[in-house]
Chain A
Amino acid sequence: PSQPLTQETVINIDGMTCNSCVQSIEGVISKKTGVKCIRVSLTNSTGIIEYDPLLTSPETLREAIEDMGFDATLKDSDKE
């Protein structure tokens, strides 16, 4: 059987000020299609997301966080 694909992306998230913001983001994003694991750090203002590249993309995830009312930017800037 083929190994499931997993990639990792780091997204800068601005506008989080407390743990409840962190929990909201983790709660909503972890339910998105293709997301395997999300770790949000309040001190670093980042979210590290493990995802299946066949099901979702960093841009989709960034938009999802943006949609929640936070400022989200992709850290891997190779596309800019």
Chain B
Amino acid sequence: MPKHEFTVDMTCEGCSNAVTRVLNKLGGVQFEIDLPNKKVCIDSEHSVDTLLETLKKTGKTITYLGAK
């Protein structure tokens, strides 16, 4: 599965939990959240746009870093 890396402006557990929840709701994703480095690495067949839209729901600033 394609791996995508994003920077998400998370500052605390609450932020990363919010990210976890929206991604779980989307479904079809496997992901790792690296809170100290503000990075989210997602394994998914979804398009980058879909993933971006989903992450943006949290209201955080999101940047797509590229495929890994």
A→B interface (CB under 8 Å): 15-18, 20-21, 24-25, 27-28, 67-70
Inside 8 A of B21's CB, which chain A residues have their CB? 15, 69-70
Decide: A69 near B18, CB < 8 A? Known: A25-B59, A27-B59: yes
Q: Which of B9, B11, B22, B58 sits near A18, CB closer than 8 Å?
A: B11
Q: List 28 A–B pairs whose Cβ atoms lie within 8 Å, in order of A's numbering.
A: A15-B14, A17-B12, A17-B13, A17-B14, A17-B15, A18-B11, A18-B12, A20-B9, A20-B10, A20-B11, A20-B12, A20-B14, A21-B15, A24-B15, A24-B59, A24-B60, A25-B59, A28-B57, A67-B22, A67-B57, A68-B18, A68-B58, A69-B17, A69-B19, A69-B20, A69-B22, A69-B57, A70-B18
